[in-house]
Structure formats: C-alpha cells, structure tokens
Structure 1
Amino acid sequence: MNTTDTLIPRPSHVELLDSPAFTLAPNARIVASDTAVPVAEQLASLLRRGTGFELPIAEDTLPGDILLELVEMFDGGPEAYSLAVTEDAIRLTASTDAGLFNGVQTLRQLFPASIEGTPPSADGTWVIPAVDIADAPRFAYRGLMLDVARNFFTVEEVKEQIDVMTQFKLNALHLHLTDDQAWRIEIRTPDENPSGLDYANLTATGGQGAVEVPTAVPARGNSGFYTQQDFRDIQAYAASKNVLVVPEIDLPGHVNAALAAIPQLSPDGQAKPMSTTAEVGWSTLSADLPTTYEFAREVLGQLADITVGPYLHIGGDEAHVTAHDDYVTMVQQFVRIAAATGKAVVGWNEFAAVELPEGAVIQYWYGNVETTVRQAENSGAPVIMSPAANTYLDQKYDPGSPVGLSWVEGGPFTWSEYYNWDPAQGGLLDQQILGVEGPLWSETVRNNKQAQWLLYPRAVSLAEVAWSGQEVRNAGDFRRRLGALGERLTRQGVVFQEAPDVEWSAKPEYPFPGTIAASDAEYGTIEA
C-alpha cells in the first residue's frame, strides 16, 4: 500500500508523481531558519529516534535535505501548508509555524510506520514517494476535552495526551478543571478579600476529591491538583505542539467541591460534604449571595491571568436544581465577569439562553440546537460542535465494556458514529462553526492507557471530520486507513480499541487487567 493512501486526516489535495522517490540518507540535514527552527528540531527529534541518523539543523540546502520554509503569502489560511517530495529533496512550505507543524505531521505519516520505533530500526529504508500535497483545515478549532476533575491526570499524563493528539492535527485541549467531586486548579487568596473566602481551601479540600464508580478499574479516581505554575507548564508544552489550552470552571452547577471548600458560598454558611458520586445536576451556587459573584470574579480573574490562550470556559451545563430565573441572573453575571478579563467566554449550549457579549463561543453538546442556531445568527457567536452522539469519547464501545458510560441515545458507539456526520447541521453553516471537540469525561477512566483506549480510534475519526472537507471524506476509505494506522500507534505505545470491523495492521495492548479483550467473542471477567 502506498503511504499517500494512508494519510489521516485526508489532505485537501494529494498528487502522486510519476518520478523517482525520495530516500532519506544518513547524511541528510533539515534546513530551517528563524522561527521555523523549533518545528525543525521537533521533526529532527522524531526522525533521529526512528533512524539513528544525526540530521543536523542547517541553513543552506544540499541535495537530499528536508527544507522547512516560511513564506509571507500563502493560500488556505494560517494553518495551510504545501509539501513537495522529489528525488532530490523534501520541501515543506507554510506562512506560519502552525502550518509548518501541520505539514510535519503529514510528513511523519509518509515515512514507514517503523520510523516510530525505539530503538532505531537497524534495517530501515526510509523511502517516500514523489508527491505534491496542498492542504488546509476545514475548521480552525479541532479539539479534545480531558475531564481532570472526576479523575486527576498529572502534568506528564496531559503532555502524553498532547503528544498523541497532535499527530492528527488536533490543536485544542479543553481541561475540565472543576466539578462536584474535585477542584483541580490553584487559586491564591488575594490581599483584598472582602468576605474572607479561603481560596486556598479549594485545592486543600477539593484537590483531594475524586469520583468512585464500581465498574471502574480501580473504582476510585485519582486525586491531585495543578499549581498555577503547573498550568503554565502545560500551556507552554502545548504551545510548542500547536495546541491551545482552554480552561473550564463549571458554573453555576457542578460546584459541590467549591461548596465543600468555602462555606460562605452556601446560604446556610455550612460547608457541604465532599462527594464521590457520579450523579450530575444536584448542586448549585446561589443567585442571592454577593459572595457568589465575588468568588466568580476572583477565580475567573486569576485563571484568566495565567491563561495564554484567548478562551475562558465557564460551563453552564446541567444546572438542574437551579431555578431558571436564578440561572439566567447568575450566568449573565458570570459571562460579563469572564468577558471583563479580556478573554472570549465559552459555555455549554445551555448558556445560550443569556445575552452573550461579542466574541462569546457556544459549545453545543445536547438538546435543542435551535437556541444555539439563533444565537449564532443574531449575535454572531461561533459554535464548537460537540453533539454527544457523535463526539462524546467516554461512551461504551459495547454494552459489556469494562469502562465507559451509556447514557447517550443510539449507543454503543464505535469509530463510525464519530465519522459519519457533518458538523454543519441544524441550520448551522461552516462559517458559523469554530470547530469540533470530542470530550472525554473521566467517571470511569483511571490512567492514560484507559483514556487512550476510549479516545482511539474515535478521536481519529473526529480529527478527520474537523480537518478534511466533507467532499473528500469516505467511510470505507477511512476504515482502510484506520487499519493501516494500527502499526504506527502500536509502535508509539498508544493503546486503542480494536474495532472488529477494521483490518488492523497490528494488535493493540489491552489496558484492563482481569477482563477479556475486545477481540474476544464477548466482554467479561476472567479469573485473576
């Protein structure tokens, strides 16, 4: 199979040339200058690991080199790139570092899967067919969400997730930092603190929380929290891989951890007990308490100060015990507080019920899409599409799956439900859609391997939906390309679910000791 036939996401234009292939030789170099050098160093690191070649960074071009070049004028937008492979050289061109980064991910897939090996392959022949590729994304925002509240993921685990997602040109990581079960981000007690709220207790108490689900392995999630420096570290690493980090503080529901840490947020002045239940929709802030808005102003202000990207997510979903008028009152204030930080405020589609400021973004996940469409039309609010039945990566593959949830109608879900849909639905047009995001809620997830098993290959489906134009996508062709991806993921040590309708080039690791793998006839338990 030609490597140009296995690219994921599928590029906008691929032309296989009738000319000799390029062979990466031991004396090859990577040519780059100025701001292109960091991307060149990442490419060099990848290729050195697989080939053992020295691959120095140079500024002058010789035959057999790989050239990364930034140009001022380029069609297709800031993330577009062109990749020309001839017998004598590889030339990757873009107008931004992001475009070069995207092109590097395509170039990575043009090499044989053994390029992913460690230690270097002793018998590797690193040949790429002569090809011209011109490529640009359909949508600017192509994201995953990691729920670090129900189960804590360490800084290193988050970085590992970034390493995997970026090879499919996913470029946004939404971190769900707070919920009923835990509070995961350090908030410092300010010098001016009118109500004497103990912000440090948010992590002292809330940071120790986690969810408990009997079917999970193990049942209880991990506890912990990020210092503000940890959060800066995650963002810096993400930025080096062309990933934007979007932090979320969920308001006015999903707030029990805050109520447990700061008693002044409750009308009775009593701290609530920490919760480990996976139930949702049963906690709320109070619209009548001045401390509610004082708290939101301090928390969102501090988070905005340490957030590099343009977005601040304020949740707004599943506030089932919040009276409608109270919900509107609070969310309207939270939106204004968030916008006053200079960030663009993002919320789940329930928050489309309030008046949104310029730049606000609606993340559609469930329910009637008409309110979202009206806001998009009337206020110009762009939409992130996360419809649960097509993007929720925590849903079960099979009714007997050892982990996962099953509340979304239409399940269980495999790769195909995440591929066979068009984000432009319900009356939304492409120009009204910021992008696509796949959320991974972690009620049943306990480590990166389990997370990967739920994420992949379904997140790969979403990556192509978000990147490739509707006109170039084909489910049968994608199934074939998924199968070829198996060896590459396996060599990287990435766990994925072995979808039975895909002919995989390699068998994945299975991350649930004591259970039967997906490739067996049925799920079930085995003797320890």
Structure 2
Amino acid sequence: MNTTDNLIPLPRHVTPLDGQVFTLQPTARIIAEGAARTAAGQLQLLLQRGTGFELPIATHSSSGDISLELVETLDGGPEAYGLTVTDDAIRLTAQAPAGFFNAVQTLRQLFPASVEQPLTPHGAPHATPDAGTWVIPGVVIHDAPRFQYRGLMLDVARSFFTVEEVKEQIDVMGQFKLNALHLHLTDDQAWRIEIQPPADNPSGLDYGNLTAVGGAVNHPGTGLGPGRTGFYTQEDFKDIQRYAAARNVLVVPEIDLPGHVNAALAAIPQLNPDGRPQPMNTTGDVGYSTLDAGLPVTYEFVREVLGQLASITTGPYLHIGGDEALVTGHDNYVTMVREFARIGAETGKTVVGWNEYAEVDLPDGAVVQYWHGGFDPVVEKAGAGSPVLMSPAATTYLDQKYDPGSPIGLSWVEGGPFTWAEYYDWDPVQGGLAEHQVLGVEGPLWTETVRGNRQAYWLQYPRAVSLAEVAWSSRPARDLDGFRRRLGTLGERLSRQGVPFQEAPGVQWSARPSDPFADTMGTNSDEYGTIEA
C-alpha cells in the first residue's frame, strides 16, 4: 500500500515500512500529557465517532496504543511533527500543540475514509464497535510546512455566516493544515462586528448603529435564496477565536478602509460631509464609497473601531483593507491609509492590507496581500521588509466560476477555467520575490452569490485543497498527476463529512458529492434560517 496516495498536503518525507501494519483494537488507548492533551482529545473524539472504540486517554503506553510525545526541538519549527506507524504502536511527536494538531490530521488520512462522520452535530450517528477493521500501513513521516501562513478568507459581509457555520469552516479547512481564517467583516453591503459605545465619544457617534443598520439584509438577487441578516457580538468573535485556536487556526479580522465603507456611512451620519446617512446598498456594487480625509471624525472613528477590534483579537494581525478606493482620490487615499496603518500599528498588531496600500509609507513589518494589479510596489515593499501574502485572483480566488455554466460564483477574472489544476500548478514565489519574503498563501471567497456553507463549500473545494498543498509542500515535490490521484481519494472523505464539493472532470473520485443546491438558503430550517440582528 502506497501511504502517500491519500495524504494531502504531501508531507516533506515519507518512508514506507514494508511489511509493517498497525491494526487499531478496541482496547487501544491514547497516551498524552501536557501540550499534547488538546490534540489527543481531538483524536479521541474523531476515532470514537468513527470506530465506536472507547480509546481512553492515559499517561503510560503499552503495545497497541497511540502515543503523542513532546520533544524539545524538531526541524521545521512549532508546526513540524513526526509520525511513526509500526506493527504494535503509533507514535506522534511534536514540540508544540500546533505540531500535534498537524500530526493528528495526517494520521486521520491514513485511516480508511470510513472513519469520517458528518461534521455537524445534528444527530450524527456514532459507529458501533464492530463497524470496521481499522488498519494503517507502517510508515515514518517527518513533516513541516513550506510557508508560515496558509489561509482562507470568508466574506461574511456580503452574506452572513453564523458562528456555527464559521466553526464548521474551521473544521473542514483544518484537516488540510490550513491555519488562518481571514474574516472580511465590513463592506458596502454590511457591517458584521459589534463596536461597543466608548466611554470617550467626543463626536457622539452611535456605534451601535453599525450593526443595527449595517447588519441588515444584503442584496438578495442570487435566485438561490435571500440575503441573511446578522452580526457577531464581541463575545461571538472571541468564541470563534477560541474554537479556531484549539484547531491551529489563526483568525484575522478585516475592517475595509477607506473604500468599501457604505455600511458605515449609512449607519453614522457624521462620517458624511453633509451629515446625512447614505442609503444601504442592496446590490453588489463597489468602488463608489469613501471616508473623508478632511473630517476629523474620520480618524476618531477609525481609531475607536480598530482599537476595539485589536483589543478582542488574540492573533497578531489586523487587516485594514485598502482596496478599490476608486473615488477617494490619490492624495486623500495616501493621507488616510498612512494614518490608518499607523493607528493599526499603535494597537500592537501587525497591519495587513490589500496590495493597493503598498503605494503608501507603511509601518515596519506591515504585510502586503497581493490580489490584482501591478506587482512592482509589492516587490519594493518586500525589499523594505514587508512580508507578502499571495492571493493572485486567477489562482486563489475561490469565488470564481468553474466555467460559464456554474450556477453561482463570479466571472470578472480573465483566463480560466478556474479548476483545481489552475490553483495547484503555480508558485507563490514569483515576480522577483524571494522565498523568505513570502509569508504564505490565502484563498479568498467573496460571497455576493453564496448563501450558507453548502454553497460555499462547493466553490471552495477541491480548489482550497490545491492551495493547501501549494502552501505546505515544497515546489519540487508537487506533481499535477500525482495530486490528481490523491485528490480523487478525498471524495469519499468529504462526502462522509457532509461537505459538498465540485466533481471536477478529469479526477477519478472515490465518491460523488452531495448536491449543494438541494436546500434553499434562507428558509426557516435550523441550519439555514435567517439570523436576526
């Protein structure tokens, strides 16, 4: 049995142990202490649901057990891990919880796909103890990621995703060692994060209106269900981060400035030069809104919003947007973005922005996220010490239609088709960048046409799996035909999890996906009901 046939992303070193086979028995235990305990609990739950075995967590191992062992150092850093499978034991090693989480995901893929159960807790059955024979081939794996940042972006502004749906997104992406979730929280269509009334509010701004008005329903015109209202309280946002952190996923919040701000202009009249609120946007139009560089209240507002968001963000990054400010004017753009970046950096966070903001003097270490347009300013900023996050639209944008017949998705990017192959067969180190200058890769999903996770998954997968391997595995190790074979084995795993995916042609899928359009978004069902603000 070739142990790499169902491992995605491809590990750095895989050595099969010919003749060695491990069979998981009902008497097996999981051995873990300290930093390994969280991952051990996750492995226990996964295997309990799949096998029906009890698999208690203990501290001393014997034959037939699965042990998670903390080591002092491991080549490759905190996300690196080792995995050894022999006839009588499975041994996972790491120097940090992140490494143990990654090791568990690889071990998960070595088990038969029948170990998988639906990700949602709605009455998912647990297996009976005699549900199958759980055999794993002998292997030694030493693994670590190529890039530090391996992410997805979820646009919750155009179409709202509940806290539970965001958690489900984390569960799906985490199994492929994607470790960052960028939440696009604000745009012309909506404002999705609570900003509490500050004690010091010199201009008397009604921050509560940001969600009371800006959390209203967005444009409904997809034909696949109405838009959805809602927002995250600050406690919701903290809850999402706690859930993500336990699964080695970093949450990156974005407040898009100084364009894409119509929801803020509709909620807070003082942000408009005439003091009158703008009407809410019920279309997908962008590029027409801007904050005003000449209003002192602009900077008061941004300082309060970024300050509050930074105070509840556990990760190091704060995304301030900066894209498509088409009506702002160059001088005003430079004035505002320079100040917004400074305000963001003063919170103690590392500022991130779309590549347009590379035209501005930025704080030391600010991250440039490339998505479209000229690359020279990005390379210049990289040379000055700004890490680059690669999201070129033609090879990472998960909202693009697979082909003209796709029932959802956008089609503004030139080129295509936009299948798993195009998202796999490229390299993030390009255009004059050096390897050390690339922070990582992110696949954005814009949601003008998307309603709920089932539709989102259909656009994300399998293309997000391609991006996961691009970000994790070395360029020389990647092979399009080999990945095609491994991708096909993933079909049954995703199908059993209840994750719809696009049944891309040219791949021999081990199972067919469920229909992402079988349920109408925005109905009164528990899973897809409208969430009132």
TM category (shorter chain) comes to over 0.9
Letter of the 1:443 partner, please give it.
E
1:203-282 to 2 correspondence within 5 Å? 203-213=211-221, 215-218=222-225, 220-282=226-288
Match of 1:352 among 345, 351, 358: 358
SS of alignment partner, residue 197 of structure 2 = coil
Contact 1:183 1:209 in 2 (8 A): no
Which of 349, 370, 386 is the equivalent residue of 2:391? 386
Report how far residue 2 of structure 1 moved: 3.6
Over 4 Å off, 4+ runs: none
In structure 2, what residue type is equivalent to 1:375? Answer: K
CA offsets, 1:95-146, max 9 Å, x none?
1110110010000000000111443164411111110001000000000000
**How far off its partner does 1:384 sit?**
0.5
Where does 1:233-382 land on structure 2 (aligned, <5 Å)? Answer: 233-378=239-384, 380-382=385-387
Q: 1:480 aligns with which of 463, 469, 485?
A: 485
Q: 1:191 deviation in Å? A: 1.3
Q: Counterpart of 2:145?
A: 137
Paired residue for 1:491? 496
Give the structure-1-normalised TM-score: 0.96
| Equivalent of residue 468 in structure 1, options 473, 478, 484 | 473
Match of 1:198 among 175, 190, 206: 206
* 1:119 is aligned to 2:122: no
Determine if the alignment matches structure 1 residue 424 to structure 2 residue 429.
yes
Which amino acid in structure 1 is aligned with residue 236 of structure 2? D
- The answer to whether the 8 Å contact 2:3/2:139 transfers is no
Q: Aligned-pair distance for 1:276?
A: 1.2
Distance 1:446 1:319 in 2: 26
Deviation for aligned residue 1:251? 0.2
Map of 1:147 onto structure 2: 155
Structure 1 SS opposite 2:5: helix
Deviation at 1:3, TM superposition (A): 4.2
* 1:367-401, Cα deviation, whole Å (9 max, x unpaired): 011100100002x0001100000000000012011
TM-score by length of 2: 0.95
Query: How many Å separate the matches in 2 of 1:513 and 1:41?
Result: 34
Match in the other structure for 1:188: 196
After TM superposition, the structure 1 = structure 2 runs for residues 170-189 of structure 1, keeping only pairs within 5 Å, are 170-189=178-197
Task: Write out per-residue CA displacement over residues 217-268 of structure 1, whole angstroms, 9 at most, x where no aligned residue.
Answer: 11x3211000000000000000010000000000000000000000000001
Q: Which residue of 1 aligns with 2:122?
A: none
Structure 1: distance between partners of 2:211 and 2:196: 10
Match of 1:162 among 156, 159, 170: 170
State which drifts further: 110-119 or 399-408. Answer: 110-119
What is the match of residue 530 of structure 2? none
Cα displacement (A) at 1:513? 4.0
Q: What's the CA shift for 1:216?
A: 4.2
Indicate the RMSD between aligned Cα atoms, in angstroms.
1.2
1:514 deviates by: 9.7
SS of residue in 2 equivalent to 1:477: helix
Cα deviation, 1:33-77, whole Å, max 9, x if unaligned, reads 012111100000000000000000000010000010111121111
1:80-99 CA-to-partner distances (Å, cap 9, x unmatched) read 10101110100100111101
CA distance in 2, matches of 1:257, 1:195: 19
* Distance in 2 between residues matched to 1:374 and 1:98, nearest whole Å: 33
8 Å contact kept, 2:368–2:386 = yes
Displacement of 1:18: 1.7
Contact 1:312 1:344 in 2 (8 A): yes
SS of residue paired to 1:20: strand
CA–CA distance in structure 1, aligned partners of residues 159 and 180 of structure 2: 20
Distance 2:485 2:286 in 1: 39
Q: Which residue of 2 aligns with 1:525?
A: none
1:526 corresponding residue in structure 2: none
| Corresponding residue SS for 1:17 | strand
Identity of aligned residues (%): 71
Q: Which runs of 5+ in 2 are unaligned?
A: 118-124, 521-533
Which residue of structure 1 aligns with residue 525 of structure 2? none
Alpha-carbon displacement from aligned partner over 1:159-193 (angstroms, at most 9, x marks no partner)? 00000000000000000000000000000111110
Give distance in 1, aligned partners of 2:105 and 2:345.
35
